[in-house]
Amino acid sequence: MQRKVKLTCQNVWKLYGAHADGLLKGDTQPNDADLQRTNTIGAVRDASLEIGEGEIYVIMGLSGSGKSTLVRCLSRLIEPTAGKITFDGEDLLAMSPKQLIDLRRTKIGMVFQHFALLPHLTVLQNVSFPLDIQGVDRVTRETRAMEMITTVGLEGRENYFPNQLSGGQQQRVGIARSLVGDPEIWFLDEPFSALDPLIRREMQDEFLRLQSLLKKTIVFITHDFDEAIRLADRIAVMKDGRIEQIATPEQLILHPASDYVAEFTQHIAREKVLSLRSIATPDMTAGEFAGDLSGSLKVAEAADVIEGANAPFRVLDEDGTPIGQVTSEIVIDVLIGRTHR
């Protein structure tokens, strides 16, 4: 599954403090002691990542781990202290203010944790605001904004002011506004964190539905591992400004790179994340199989069938080639969370 690369960053640093610039002169990289000594905060440290086109890339970490700072560096809302960022192969940090404005108007959309709606504008005006400042005429921009409002399910409320809407509705407005310019890349900074758990769930479904229609490149920030698992194609786990691990949800659960990452994965319902492909054992010695199962099935979906049979199942790849077998013992291991036998 090779995707075209949309956005990259290499060795990006963001330091806060009086001596921030001095610490990154030349090739030297400051360590914890350097930062402590100079009273500098390392909000992002030596972050590198590569985001493919059409991918949902989740950046995950606890509060204060530098997620917001990193995503703001990626959109150059914050100037990184050091590092390189490319957008469609172009050097983002070398762009002039004018180029940057053009890029943002046409290619970038962003959703904020606290919605960031303009309080003096109605829903319709808020959603059409990005087009308004580009000088798009009123009829065109309001038609387009109405489309977006309908897409996020807020039709009938276009003349409300933000303070007349619930949190979930306000975030729908934020989403509509970020999509009205039809951006290529879509940044979401903890978009659902300020919402109640039930509404959050509903908004996640909504988000997945939208993405299945729009197929944007997405950078999604969250501190909620469940949310990350649910939405991500790939996850980057951050800790204290550093990226600890970049992996798919399954790999993250099966092979956590550190105890820190493992800590997150412990309370996850593994059977809903892991697919048969990733738990199948390659030996096919059983000789007799109860049947064939697709490798992309999640364990939870196949558990009943596998446990009901008294022989193992054969696991097949997308193109039908067998890749291994699953036994009911393996499924039980996954279900009760046993990792070593």
Partner 1 sequence: MNALTRFFRAPWTFWIALLLITWALSTWSFPLYKALDARWIIRFPAQLQVPLDVWLTAFFKWLQNDADLFLFTFRDLTRFLSSLIEWPYDQVRALMADGFESGQGSNAVEIAPPLSWIAVIFILIALGRYARDWWLAALVGGCFVYLAVFGQWDSAMVTLSSVIIAVPIGVALGLGIGILTYRSLWFDRLIRPLLDLMQTVPVFAYLVPVLVLFGFGPVAALIATLIYATPPMVRIASLALKSVPTEVVEAGRIVGCTERQMMWRVLVPSAMPTLMVGVNQVIMLTLNMVIIASMIGAGGLGFDVLSALRRLDIGGGIEAGVAIVVMAIALDRLSQAFVRRPPSAILPADLGTLRRHPWLVTTLVVVVVTYLLGLFLPAVQSYPAALTLTTGTFWSDAMEWININYFDTFEAVKSFFLTVLLLPVKRFFSGIPWAWGIIAMGLAAWRVGGWRLGLMAALMTTFIAASGFWAKAMITIYLCGVSVLIAYAIGVPLGIWAGQNTRVNSVVGAIMDTLQTLPSFVYLIPVVMLFRVGDFSAMIAIVLYALAPAVRYAAHGIRSIDPQMIEAGLVSGCTPRQLLWRVKLPLAAPSLLLGLNQTIMLALSMLVITALVGTRDLGQEVYIALTKADTGHGIVAGLCVAFIAIIADRILTALSKSSKQRVEAA
Ligand X SMILES: Nc1ncnc2c1ncn2[C@@H]1O[C@H](COP(=O)(O)OP(=O)(O)OP(=O)(O)O)[C@@H](O)[C@H]1O
Q: Please give the residues from 18 up to 57 whose contact with ligand X meets the rule CB under 6 A.
A: 41, 43
* 66 contact, one of partner 1, ligand X, Mg ion, none, CB 5-8 Å limit per kind: ligand X
Interface residue with partner 1, options 80, 130, 256, 312 (CB under 8 A): 130
210: which 2 tokens?
A: 């939208």
Closer to ligand X by CB, 68 or 327: give it.
68
Q: Please give the residues from 51 up to 110 whose contact with Mg ion meets the rule CB under 5 A.
A: 68
* 220 contact, one of Mg ion, partner 1, ligand X, none, CB 5-8 Å limit per kind: none
Is residue 333 packed enough to be buried (19+ CB in 10 Å), middle (13-18) or exposed (0-12)? middle
Q: Per CB under 6 A, which region of 61-69, 94-102, 227-235, 267-275 contacts ligand X?
A: 61-69
Q: Does residue 77 bind ligand X (CB under 6 A)?
A: no
Q: Does residue 65 bind ligand X (CB under 6 A)?
A: yes
* 133 contact, one of Mg ion, partner 1, ligand X, none, CB 5-8 Å limit per kind: partner 1
Q: Please give the residues from 80 up to 119 whose contact with partner 1 meets the rule CB under 8 A.
A: 101-105, 108-110, 112-119
Q: How is the beta sheet containing 185-189 ordered, strand by strand?
A: 108-111, 185-189, 217-222, 56-61, 234-239, 242-247
Q: How near is the Cβ of 64 to Mg ion at its closest, in Å?
A: 8
Q: How near is the Cβ of 128 to partner 1 at its closest, in Å?
A: 11
Interface residue with partner 1, options 120, 198, 321, 340 (CB under 8 A): 120
Q: Per CB under 8 A, which region of 25-33, 70-78, 86-94, 236-244 contacts partner 1?
A: 70-78
Q: Does residue 222 bind Mg ion (CB under 5 A)?
A: no
The rounded distance, in Å, linking the Cα atoms of 313 and 323 is 11
Binding site for Mg ion (CB under 5 A): 68
Binding site for partner 1 (CB under 8 A): 72, 75, 77, 101-105, 108-110, 112-122, 129-130, 132-134, 159, 161, 177, 181, 187
Binding site for ligand X (CB under 6 A): 16, 41, 43, 61, 63-69, 223
